[in-house]
Amino acid sequence: MEESISHLLVQVCKAHRGCLGEALSQLGLHVGQEMILFHLWEQDGVAQSQLIGGCQVEAPTMTKMLSRLEKAGLIQRRRDAQDARVWRVDLTQRGRALKEPVYRCWQKIEERMLRDLTLEEKLLLRRLLLQMRSNLFEGE
């Protein structure tokens, strides 16, 4: 199994995570937190449950990440007026300000990773990854 595609995939993902983490740490972020911010940059004041769906993360993970983002001053939480069970999440000024630098990080690593791939290769790669994802999601 040494050089299986699974193993390569894991290695590439780990390397990607490593590079991203290095870049994000210079913005005071930890890798993973950017997914939450991506969603908030698209739509602010969203319910926590929507973030859970969007980031494909479990509820307790989201709770911890949000409380860290809150402590870091990037977001704020408020109770929903209609439904007291839900918490809504708003970006702070500092959270909004990170949008461009984080996008640049992300894009820079994407470009670096796919450096010498042709357009056809990129398109095929995307198609294969989509297929693999649905294979894994669609169970046995």
Partner DNA sequence: CCCCTATAATTAGCCGGCTAAATGAATGGG
Partner DNA sequence: CCCATTCATTTAGCCGGCTAATTATAGGGG
Binding site for DNA (CB under 7 A): 14, 18, 30-33, 35, 47-49, 52, 55-68, 77, 82-88
Q: What is the residue type of 109?
A: I
Strands 87-91 and 46-47: antiparallel
State the binding partner of 85 from DNA, a second copy, none, CB within 5 to 8 A by kind: DNA
Q: How far is the CB of 75 from DNA (least distance, A)?
A: 12
The half-sphere exposure of 95 on its side-chain side, counting CA atoms within 13 A, is 28
Q: How far is the CB of 53 from a second copy (least distance, A)?
A: 14
Q: How far is the CB of 57 from DNA (least distance, A)?
A: 4
In order, the DSSP letters of 88-121 are EEEE-HHHHHTHHHHHHHHHHHHHHHTTT--HHH
Q: Kindly state whether residue 59 participates in binding a second copy, applying the rule CB under 8 A.
A: no
Distances (CA, A) of 88 to 37, 42, 99: 14, 15, 20
DSSP symbol at 77: E
Q: Kindly state whether residue 117 participates in binding a second copy, applying the rule CB under 8 A.
A: yes
The CA R_g of the chain, rounded to the nearest whole Å, is 18
For 102, the token pair is: 């984080």
Q: Kindly state whether residue 122 participates in binding a second copy, applying the rule CB under 8 A.
A: yes
State the binding partner of 43 from DNA, a second copy, none, CB within 5 to 8 A by kind: none
Which residues of the chain form contacts with a second copy (CB under 8 A)? 1-6, 8-19, 38, 56, 103, 106-107, 109-110, 112-117, 121-122, 124-126, 128-133, 135-137, 140
